[in-house]
């Protein structure tokens, strides 16, 4: 999976909506590709174009919840 975090407008799309979309895509990928349960997935993050507005949307509490959720819902560690 490739995430391009700097390509959306944080003033128009909330970080909550982006997180929900990301979870849906990840869930579909894991459900549709049985091999991903065995071998896992690779996530590449492209930060080009990211601004302070993008980063400030992530609170420490939100990041902790996201990481715990990611670990519980997927086979990644």
Label each residue of 3-60 as H, E or C: EEHHHCCCCCCCHHHHHHHHHHHHHHHHHHCCHHHHHCCCCEEECCCCCHHHHCCCCH
Encoded tokens for 73: 């819902």
pLDDT at 2: 86
pTM of the model: 0.65
Encoded tokens for 44: 């590449």
Provide φ and ψ at 3, rounded to 5°. Answer: -105, 130
Predicted confidence (pLDDT) per residue in 16-44, tens digit: 888 888 888 878 887 888 887 778 778 89
């Amino acid at each position: 999976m490739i995430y391009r975090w700097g390509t959306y407008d944080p003033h128009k799309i909330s970080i909550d909506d982006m997180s929900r979309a990301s979870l849906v895509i990840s869930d579909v990928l894991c459900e549709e590709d049985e091999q991903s349960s065995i071998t896992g997935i690779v996530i590449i993050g492209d930060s080009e174009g990211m601004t302070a507005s993008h980063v400030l949307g992530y609170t420490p509490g939100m990041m902790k919840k996201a990481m715990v959720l990611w670990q519980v819902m997927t086979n990644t560690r």
